[in-house]
Amino acid sequence: VKIAVPKEAASGETRVAMVPKVADKLTKLGVELRVQKGAGDGSRIPDDAYGENTKIAGRAADIYGADVVLAVNSPSPTNLAKMKKGSVLLSFVQAHQNADAVEAMCKAGVTCFAMELVPRITRAQSMDALSSQASAAGYKAALMAASNLERFLPMLTTAAGTIRPAKVLVIGAGVAGLQAIATAKRLGAKVEAYDVRTDTKEQVESLGAEFLVAEGVKAEAEGGYARELTDDEKAKQQEMLTKHVGQADAVITTAAVPGRPAPKIISKAMVDGMKAGSVLVDLGAAGGGNCELTKPGETVKHGSVTILGPTNMAGELAEHASEMYAQNLFNFLSLILIEEDDEGEDDTSKGPKPRKLAINWDDEVLAKSVLTHDGEIVNEAAREALK
């Protein structure tokens, strides 16, 4: 099987879908691996670090002609058109924001498994790239909050007096939020957290943070995700949060509802009520922002409050984010790369047995994460969104 990894084209993308450690494991399986020249640059991986078993290819055609393409973001329609009918693409796609690419995948007859569709079931945890990238983002969000504050996070008792610990409020206690809480706690802040899924209370408290409750708001939905709130619930949530936002030195928001724009939680009036010099890090920025004043991809000042709207926070931690992502893909590949039948021969001294691509559609992980196959959009939610 030929597997190839392009250089990511999206501006500001620092991650890469393959790292040397994982390349080594793949080539040991007998896979013919190609990485596009310069693909690892943003993650500080020079071409020669991939080792002698990985070929470095210059031309896009040498990459997109492979049996399997591994990418962080969906390739452009032009490059997708170079893919072979029946070949496989593993990548984040976010179909509802990426209609042209999805159309190009269908046209080319590519079987695309979208990493954001991998089900959140125990067996698929090692393939869960949403989680690995959200962990990186949550960690970095807490560091960004800290470094943009002109204050200490921990309590300090010094000869020059006692400094009170900073207050950090984390809104949305999913994977990213929990990592932000843990990181802010390690830095010594006093942390409060809120989520519409009240089940997260226990997880928040186990990290040593205080869980905030908005009476009458409980919005668990299928698969452990949240649902959108009603207007009445939104009002209750705002009322409760306004006071805590006003007391925080840093607010980190991570709220998301799958397939929907980021819920707007922090209004302009709430920012007006924030302490002078405080910081808001909005991880919802890629989905439009959890704060009314967020400008995706920018840092803005509202009075003396700094509002950061990073759209690729995991990319700020490119080395480890790439490493975790590549490992997620390797684990996913193990579902579709099957040893070729060697006609009863069990002599392993000849090295790895070649692998072939085989997709078992009865496998829940494959059936749920496939986006396009055989010229069609097979994921129902994506088909609806792109109608």
Stretch that binds ligand NAD, among 130-138, 205-213, 330-338, 379-387 (CB under 6 A): 130-138
Q: What is the DSSP letter of 153?
A: S
Name residues contacting ligand NAD, limited to 218-237 (CB under 6 A).
224-226, 229
Contacts of 48 (CB under 8 A, 6+ apart): 56
CB of 169 to ligand NAD, least distance (A): 11
Q: Of 128, 77, 130, 123, which is closest to residue 372 (Cα–Cα)?
A: 77
Q: Does 40 bind ligand NAD (CB under 6 A)?
A: no
Q: Which CB sits closer to ligand NAD, 1 or 182?
A: 182
The pairing of beta strand 376-377 with beta strand 250-253: unpaired
Residues 6 or more apart in contact with residue 174 via CB below 8 angstroms: 134, 195, 200, 254, 256
Tell me which residues are annotated as active site.
Answer: 120, 125, 128, 131, 225
CA distance 270 to 182: 25
173 binds ligand NAD (CB under 6 A): yes
Residue 180 one-letter amino acid: A
Shortest reach from residue 314's CB to ligand NAD, in Å: 12
In the bound complex, which residue of the shown chain has the CB atom lying closest to ligand NAD? 174
Residue 361, number of CB atoms within 10 A of its CB:
10
Tell me, residue by residue from 62 to 91, as one string, x for binding to ligand NAD by CB under 6 A and - for no binding. ------------------------------
Give yes or no for residue 314 binding ligand NAD (CB under 6 A): no
Q: Does 255 bind ligand NAD (CB under 6 A)?
A: yes
Tell the smallest beta-carbon distance from residue 3 to ligand NAD (Å). Answer: 25
The reply on whether position 385 binds ligand NAD by CB under 6 A is: no
Which CB sits closer to ligand NAD, 17 or 214? 214
Single-letter amino acid, residue 27 = T
Selected from 258, 259, 273, 277, the binder of ligand NAD by CB under 6 A is 258
By beta-carbon proximity to ligand NAD, the closer residue of 90 and 255 is 255
Choice from 57, 265, 280, 335 touching ligand NAD (CB under 6 A) = 265
Q: Is there binding between residue 257 and ligand NAD (CB under 6 A)?
A: yes
Parallel, antiparallel or unpaired: strands 88-92 and 111-114: parallel
Closest CA to 225 of 96, 351, 120: 120
**291 part of the interface to ligand NAD, by CB under 6 A:** no
**Torsional class of 204: left (φ above 0), alpha (ψ -120 to 50), beta (otherwise):** alpha
User: Element (H or E) spanning 77, and its range?
Assistant: helix 77-80
Q: Is the dihedral of CA 72, 77, 79, 83 positive or negative?
A: positive
Give least dist CB 251 to ligand NAD, A: 12
Q: Tokens 């405080």 map to which residue?
A: 278
- Of the listed pieces 128-136, 180-188, 298-306, 309-317, which binds ligand NAD according to CB under 6 A? 128-136
Of the chain, the end-to-end C-alpha distance in Å amounts to: 35
Q: Choose one: 58-66, 171-179, 335-343, 362-370; the region binding ligand NAD (CB under 6 A).
A: 171-179
Considering the complex, state which of residue 61 and residue 121 has its C-beta at the smaller distance from ligand NAD: 121
Using an 8 Å Cβ cutoff, are 235 and 228 in contact? no
Q: Is 94 an interacting residue with respect to ligand NAD (CB under 6 A)? A: no
Binding mask 132-161 for ligand NAD (x = CB under 6 A): --x---------------------------
* 336 within 8 A of 86, measured Cβ to Cβ: no
Rg (Cα) of the chain, in Å, rounded?
Answer: 23
Give 344's contacts (C-beta < 8 A, 6+ positions apart): none
Work out whether 263 is an interface residue with ligand NAD (CB under 6 A): yes
Residues 190-219 that bind ligand NAD (CB under 6 A): 194-197, 200
CA distance linking residue 330 with residue 21, whole number of Å? 11
Of residues 122 and 162, the one with the C-beta less far from ligand NAD: 122
Binding residues for ligand NAD, per CB under 6 A?
A: 120-122, 125, 128, 130-131, 134, 171-177, 194-197, 200, 224-226, 229, 254-258, 263, 265
